[in-house]
Structure 1
Amino acid sequence: MNENNLEYLKKTLEGLGFGTKLNDVLETAIRREIPKFNLGITSQRRPLDTTDINAPKTDHLSFWFNFNRSKDSDMYFLNNYDVMLTQAKSTAPRSQNFDLARDHRVTALQAHKLLSGLSFKKEVYPRSREENQQQGVPSEKTPIWFKLSLDITDAYGNHPLRTFRPEYGFDLVETLGKYPLKGLDTPEKLKEAIITLQNGNYYHGEMVIGKKTVPVAIAANPQIKRLNVYDKNMIEIRDEVIFPEKARAKAVESQQSPAQDRATSQAAQPEQPWVQEPEQETGNKRGR
């Protein structure tokens, strides 16, 4: 058995947030030289939208790790793992396969956040360090937002993992400034909100909606470059409610557009020679 390889795999699992619970069964499988095997672990967690540390742990997560032995040596590799999230408030579980290299080593906690509909930001190497070194390119990390498209699945049964680089144009600070949030008027409070949202957590605060100040929970949505806003019962508050002036202006514009389009179309319509002129009625009527 390759002891260094075993220690590396143990550290990989620990670094991904799975602790040391699998160390003994992992060592047993490798000692038996099983060419291909899966190990599993389950955990109960509190829903990510709760602020109550005493809330029941109703989010059930199951993980399966897929190990393979090299055909040319005694080394084993952990290339990917599967996870399933079952929530008390959801009728159907959500599942995903995360490839460690392709998906930039998504951790257990990050997998929970992604399957719960949240987005997070972390710095990753866009290309492998080995490739950079071979081409003489310095290894530099890039901050990237991650989000799962939970409304669709691909040919492999996975939800597409969307990544948004800086050039995509999602500016969290600028986005926060567009919303009537209260309490972010100091650098310390603003920094707290930014870090909370970048880590893929809900930020709980207050927002002025209409003439009232109401408690809200907000989450970053890099895909559409805005915030997801929820009330105290975690019911989404739409932008039309938060920004009624914009909603009214958009409604007026949408009503005017069809009339303008018709006028433009009629004005630009060329004369059509094949259209027969309507017959004009004369005083003489044809009899039978």
Structure 2
Amino acid sequence: MNQKNYEYLRDQLLYSGFVDSMNANLQKAMKKGQDQFTLNFKREDQAERIAAQLRFSKSKQSDMYFFNSYELKITNRASLQSIKQRFYVNGRDRFTLKEAYNLLHGRAVHKDLTNKEGERYRAWMQLDFKTVDLEGNRKFRHYHENYGFDLPRELEKFPISDLQYPDSKEYLIASLERGNRHDVTFMLEQGSRQVSLEANPKFKSVAIYDGSMRLEFVSMNLDKHGQQSAQDVQMENKQKLQEDQQPPAKQSKGKRL
């Protein structure tokens, strides 16, 4: 077994969000010397079962192995409905386990990408649940920077306590860019209120959920006291968002994987 190759793959698994407990099985599979092998990852809680099958292949020119892709499957324990998608590790669209989990729940992820000419750019990516390729995988929607969605600017429209502190603001933005549904506190005139936020690049807005995870409104305009300054709460956008983001798996917060 190539020890340096093992250490590289071990670190790659860790970066991708898979636990250290897989290292022993990785080492065992590499020692067998087969051209291809798979490793299985499982985790579950009261709401969901999460399973991933990781695919590895051996180089035809050396004893080096490569971590190529993994298929992530999420099953709702109450309805037994499942959704799955293959995510590639080496290529343009590389996602960690946490990002892949959020994508399968309909949320968007902000990524550093490279085009065919080798030029780097940033874009929001979101699965299109209405478009499936021949292998049964959903295609991606890309929302580039010139599309006009500015997350920090959208957040400034709301009386979010986290925005008062640079470190908290940076953490909030990074969390939303990973596709998480993030809990925040609104400082309203009538008192504080706990809500959850989710980036919504398609409608250039931020979706807001109440404590029961019900969608409340999308990018409502608020005045400096946190009061609604326009009667139009973009109900049309709310309806479109609800229709557009209905993957089979249960919607949930961006839990820690």
CA distance in 1, matches of 2:219, 2:120: 38
Please give the TM-score of this superposition, normalised by the length of structure 2. Answer: 0.72
How is 1:141-160 mapped onto 2 (pairs within 5 angstroms)?
142-160=121-139
What SS does the aligned partner of 2:21 have?
coil
User: Paired residue for 2:14?
Assistant: 14
Q: Is the 2:46–2:77 contact (alpha carbons within 8 Å) kept by the matching residues of 1?
A: no
Q: Is the 1:121–1:198 contact (alpha carbons within 8 Å) kept by the matching residues of 2?
A: yes
CA-atom RMSD, angstroms?
Answer: 3.4
Q: Is the 1:204–1:216 contact (alpha carbons within 8 Å) kept by the matching residues of 2?
A: yes
- Shift of residue 116 of structure 1? 2.2
CA distance in 2, matches of 1:100, 1:60: 22
User: Paired residue for 1:26?
Assistant: 26
Higher CA-based Rg: 1
The residue type equivalent to 2:11 in the other structure is K
Q: Which structure shows the bigger proportion of residues in strand conformation?
A: 2
- Shift of residue 95 of structure 1? 0.6
Q: Is the 1:181–1:205 contact (alpha carbons within 8 Å) kept by the matching residues of 2?
A: no
Please give the TM-score of this superposition, normalised by the length of structure 1. Answer: 0.65
User: Paired residue for 2:239?
Assistant: none
The residue type equivalent to 1:161 in the other structure is F
Q: Is the 2:70–2:88 contact (alpha carbons within 8 Å) kept by the matching residues of 1?
A: yes
Q: Is the 2:58–2:66 contact (alpha carbons within 8 Å) kept by the matching residues of 1?
A: yes
CA distance in 2, matches of 1:14, 1:184: 29
User: Paired residue for 2:252?
Assistant: none
Can you give the 5+ residue segments of structure 2 that lack an aligned partner in the other structure? 221-227, 237-257
User: Paired residue for 1:225?
Assistant: 204
CA distance in 2, matches of 1:26, 1:193: 35
How is 1:19-98 mapped onto 2 (pairs within 5 angstroms)?
19-44=19-44, 58-88=47-77, 91-98=80-87
- Shift of residue 8 of structure 1? 2.1
Kindly tell me: are residues 13 and 204 of structure 1, through their superposed partners in 2, closer, same or farther at Cα, counting changes over 3 Å?
closer
CA distance in 2, matches of 1:109, 1:247: 31
User: Paired residue for 1:246?
Assistant: 232
- Shift of residue 57 of structure 1? 5.2
What SS does the aligned partner of 1:21 have?
helix
CA distance in 1, matches of 2:171, 2:14: 28
Aligned length in residues = 227
Measured against aligned partners, the alpha-carbon deviations of 1:198-227 in whole angstroms (never above 9, x if no partner) come to 232223335599x99754211001122111
Q: Is the 2:210–2:216 contact (alpha carbons within 8 Å) kept by the matching residues of 1?
A: yes
CA distance in 2, matches of 1:230, 1:90: 22
Kindly tell me: are residues 184 and 16 of structure 1, through their superposed partners in 2, closer, same or farther at Cα, counting changes over 3 Å?
closer
Q: Is the 1:16–1:105 contact (alpha carbons within 8 Å) kept by the matching residues of 2?
A: no
How is 1:78-157 mapped onto 2 (pairs within 5 angstroms)?
78-88=67-77, 91-122=80-111, 124-127=112-115, 142-157=121-136
The residue type equivalent to 2:38 in the other structure is N
Q: What is the aligned-residue identity percentage? A: 27
Q: Which has the higher contact order (CA 8 A, sep 6+)?
A: 2
